[in-house]
Amino acid sequence: MPRLIIIRGLPGSGKTSEGHRIAKKTGALFLEPDMLLMHDGEYRYSQKDYDLAVSSMRAILGVVGSLEGDVIYADVLPTRADVQAIIDKVAFLGSVHYDVRVIALNIDAAESFERNVHHVRHEDIMRMERDWEAWEGEELV
């Protein structure tokens, strides 16, 4: 059975690095909204562009759900509803059933401020940390 691996964490937690590491090891398809915000090798963030990237990535996940093979999806996903929305999107259009694994990269807001390379606003990071809900059975890294 193919796996859907969801990697979640605050900005700067290492979601992209962990996703690439797992993808290289397993051959899984790696997807994240941030990849749609890269232009000429530079990350360009605005809330509007990020929201569009998330929407676009969810549409891509709906298509991926009809394929066989492991998929890794990385994003902040602070709430249980955010995680469930990704699982539902992959399952919605797909005929393939996925074994779901959720990995949370465990850093706090202070560390996120220091490691955040995408210039996410401090108030947004504080909101993400405040909204954070654990997902039952997730692996804390």
pLDDT value for 9: 97
Low-confidence winner among 14-28, 34-48, 50-64, 83-97 (lowest mean pLDDT): 83-97
**Whole-number average pLDDT of the chain:** 90
| Residues of the chain above pLDDT 90, percent | 65
pLDDT for 6 beyond 80: yes
99: Cβ contacts below 8 Å, ≥ 6 apart: 1, 2, 3, 4
How much is the pTM?
0.91
Question: Which has more confidence, 58 or 101?
Answer: 101
Question: Which has more confidence, 117 or 12?
Answer: 12
Q: Which residue has the tokens 């909101």?
A: 127
pLDDT value for 53: 94
